[in-house]
Chains A and B, each alone.
Chain A
């Protein structure tokens, strides 16, 4: 072999060896990037007001979504819902009920401690549930908790997964939970700093701490996100479809109801016809596609179709001609006022569009963000993936409980069928106190270094599984 050939062979060998080493290094780095890392501070922001961290605080209606997201980080519930909306064990390992579904016995998971080291007991669980549900008769029994109610509650395991039913140890005004994080710093309504619990029963969260800025408008959140000051922000519905510089967008299933809710019941048949005409006059599709940039789906029912499967049966297409026919001959004594959230620019456009659609049908309605309007444009988050629980909660929030609906609901001793749910929801809609408009997705913009992001079935953030890669966003 010639010397030059040997030299050439040597050079090629060295080159191949270099390439092999380089490819090995790249592979190693790549694997390091996809493998979860412990440590780091996750910086998030939420818009809703959070005056209190107590998940059972029923007065915080406007901040319901926010507390629904924060509560699971501090507290656990007895059950959780899987992707099908079925209850799964959490603090409760197992549960059973009597035939009437009025008495439930839930066996607690042993060895669980609150963040202050206190052992989770049946007494503590019972005390917490009594605060959240005064109507329930809750009593401890050994390692189990007995829940009794006057009516059949076949959906109780799913209802226990609501964040409002989180198990909270209340000691001298302090709220102590058994969740993956503990509140290290709390500025009511402004900021919250969470520290990961090393002794969390389901395993320590990847991040060391989470900083949550509270009460920030979507615009401010986006500005901070684009400046790299936040790792994750909520997106307004109209922002969800756009590209986010320096990150990605994660959308949820449509789990928020946008609807017109009237402040009082129907006072006369004419008023009922006017409300019917208004529901027919509104072009929900244009609201969704133009104003909200397809951030949701037109809604004819209270619950989305993906949850019930029957929502398409409710009319949702505009029919101005029929609306005018219904309105014809009705003398509207005074213009209705339509309220909306002044801090939400999209809400204003939606309200004004509704006014235009209503005017086409001859209905006199004016946007009015002031207090005490005749009707209010509201966004209500579905608190559960369980249709029955979500519907019950919606009915409670919208004050839609009617004798018929209560009777239908109380007759269900086992999990209701789809037909039962349809009948109940239809009864709610027949009250004409609410006009469903859209089911909206909730969206979150995340920085590139945020990994493992997922949302629980109730829409809460599953932050224990989130980890941060070393790369800079």
Chain B
């Protein structure tokens, strides 16, 4: 990963973590605020319910009191005081009066609690209602479970004694309103809240006992365990109900037990608060977070890109300069317009390349001097050999002229022959040096390197199997190298040199192998021998002009090879070790572009 990318990731992570942290904090704060508001709304609704409960209770009490003071109640009380116990005249009275007074429940009972007339269960005349607290009738309304022909119901009841004057048996009016949907619907509910009522008939949870004016309880069984829990614990409780898999449908349910006269829980007020607002708010926070995070990330990418570019540009310049130096451009310099460590690094780099350049020039000078020394040594050595016979011959002529003039002609003739031979030798030496210095530029032609290899092998095959030397086995492993551009004569000379060197390296027989390889933009030729091999020092100096490890030769062969290969834009390398044989590898670029250039020049 590049330094710029690392910087980018660090910047992005920093922004992301920051935004996420802010989002979490906001979300937590929002949830707390919502829960607080929810608690306040629930408390307000419970208070409202209690107020409505009390108000309705007062209304019921007033209506029951009015009925107890009415002529109808007095008539009933009077009729039963006479002892005839005829229920028939009053069978429908309770229902009629209840309808007039808008009561759901109404019963006229005697002092023993025997029902005289019942609105909710007209057929119950003559039956006792044991649940009535007639010994000490409460002044206020109270919750009571009422048996009905088709089941049970909870109602808000009130009891009043019929004021029928002296001498009459006691009679009571028991009236009430059912806690039904209408009752619950009377509550003013804030948006997102609803109130339900659960009638506790001690039969376990029953969906039919759940009064839900909103009718939105999709599956009442989901609150069964909660209702049972509250009924068992007998205290307020709150839970979260997941109606569906959609979190927006979740609801916080607060249960408030309502007790009857016997202090038993007659029912539960269930206040439901939808979590939709909170979920939507949370969703909004999440969306805002994602948006802010996205925007922040984008901004971070841009800023970090800019910052990273600003920070890394000098570094990249330094890296590029280093690559240039690696390629041999030692005079490369880095221009950094900044300060601090990067500028110091750039200055150091420039100083380093300057030093390297100077070192290289120094080395070149040293090398040049060494080359000159070597050249002078070789030249002196080569020239010294013919000069010594020349000196001896000339001295012999002088001596013969002085000592034996009669033999001078004969000696002169012999000496002149020798002189001419040595002079010719000198000229040959000079000619080779001259030839090395005047290496011709390659003339590029289309050629197949395999053809060159085959030509060279054909040329030397006779020498390989010659009678004056041990036989050398020669093999070729030629790949389909394709066309390259090169000078056939020069390359032929390269391969000939390498093959002859290999033969010289195997005086005791061996195996000569020539291989060709094809790469996309180049071909290579390997010349392997199984000779004695070279030491690393010999390998290092092998291509130095006039260096030879053999007893004969000028030491210019491999230097010429390197010169020709280099003129073709290629490289030549050696791989060897003592007793491991030697492998020369020549890599030649295809140079097809030079072929085209040359054609263009010819056309021009």
Contact = CB atoms under 8 A, between A and B. Distances in A.
Q: Name the prevailing secondary structure of the B interface residues.
A: loop
A349 B150 contact: no
B88 interface: yes
A359 to B, nearest CB: 10
Interface in A335-381: 349-353, 355-356, 366-367
A353 B150 contact: no
B145 interface: no
A367 B86 CA distance: 25
A448 interface: no
Nearest to A368: B150
Contacts of B555: none
Interface stretch (A245-253, A284-292, A455-463): A284-292
B91 A349 contact: yes
B123 A289 contact: no
Q: How would you classify the secondary structure of chain A's contact residues: helix, strand, loop or mixed?
A: helix
A362 to B, nearest CB: 15
Contact of A289 (B88, B124, B149, B150): B88
B124 A290 contact: no
Contacts of B213: none
Nearest to A293: B88
A294 B91 CA distance: 13
B91 A290 contact: yes
A290 B126 CA distance: 10
A352 B88 contact: no
Contact of B88 (A290, A351, A353, A366): A290
Contact of A352 (B86, B122, B126): B122
A228 to B, nearest CB: 24
A352 B125 contact: no
B150 A356 contact: no
A113 B124 CA distance: 57
B388 interface: no
A353 B118 CA distance: 12
B124 A356 contact: yes
A367 B124 CA distance: 14
B21 to A, nearest CB: 63
Contacts of B150: 366-367
A64 B91 CA distance: 30
B121 to A, nearest CB: 6
A293 to B, nearest CB: 6
Contacts of A366: 149-150
B87 interface: yes
Given A355-B149, A366-B150, A350 B88 contact: no
A286 B86 CA distance: 10
Interface residues of B, number: 13
B372 interface: no
B291 interface: no
A352 B151 CA distance: 12
Contacts of A349: 91, 122-123
B117 to A, nearest CB: 10
Contacts of A351: 123
A293 B125 CA distance: 14
B125 A367 contact: no
B127 interface: yes
Interface in B88-132: 88, 91, 121-127
Interface in A17-32: none
A218 to B, nearest CB: 14
Given A366-B150, A367-B149, A367-B150, A355 B88 contact: no
B326 to A, nearest CB: 99
A353 B149 CA distance: 9
Nearest to B148: A352
A290 B125 contact: yes
Contacts of B87: 286, 290
A290 to B, nearest CB: 4
A321 to B, nearest CB: 17
Contacts of A355: 123, 149
A297 to B, nearest CB: 15
Contacts of A291: 88, 91, 123
B98 to A, nearest CB: 15
A339 to B, nearest CB: 13
B194 to A, nearest CB: 31
Nearest to A357: B123
A139 B149 CA distance: 56
A350 B125 CA distance: 12
A289 B86 CA distance: 9
Contacts of B126: 286
Interface string A255-288: 0000000000000000000000000000000100
A352 B91 contact: no
B123 A356 contact: yes
B267 to A, nearest CB: 23
Interface in B145-161: 149-150
Contacts of A352: 121-124, 149
A371 B122 CA distance: 23
Nearest to B95: A345
B94 to A, nearest CB: 12
Interface in A303-362: 349-353, 355-356
A374 to B, nearest CB: 16
Given A349-B122, A366-B150, A356 B127 contact: yes
A230 B277 CA distance: 64
A353 B88 CA distance: 13
Contacts of A286: 87, 125-126
A355 B127 CA distance: 12
B432 to A, nearest CB: 131
Interface in A21-64: none
Contacts of B125: 286, 290
A403 B442 CA distance: 136
Contacts of B86: 289-290
Contacts of A290: 86-88, 91, 125
A293 B149 CA distance: 22
Contacts of A289: 86, 88
B33 to A, nearest CB: 52
Contacts of A353: 123
Contacts of B149: 352, 355, 366-367
Contacts of A356: 123-124, 127
B92 to A, nearest CB: 8
A367 B148 CA distance: 11
Interface in A189-241: none
A281 to B, nearest CB: 14
A350 B149 CA distance: 12
The 10 closest A-B pairs by CB, nearest first: A352-B123, A353-B123, A290-B88, A352-B149, A290-B87, A349-B123, A349-B122, A367-B149, A293-B88, A289-B88
Given A352-B121, A352-B124, 18 more contacts: A286-B125, A286-B126, A289-B88, A290-B87, A290-B88, A290-B91, A290-B125, A291-B88, A291-B123, A293-B88, A349-B122, A349-B123, A351-B123, A352-B123, A355-B123, A355-B149, A356-B124, A367-B150
11 contacts: A286-B126, A289-B88, A290-B87, A290-B88, A293-B88, A294-B88, A352-B121, A353-B123, A355-B149, A356-B123, A366-B149
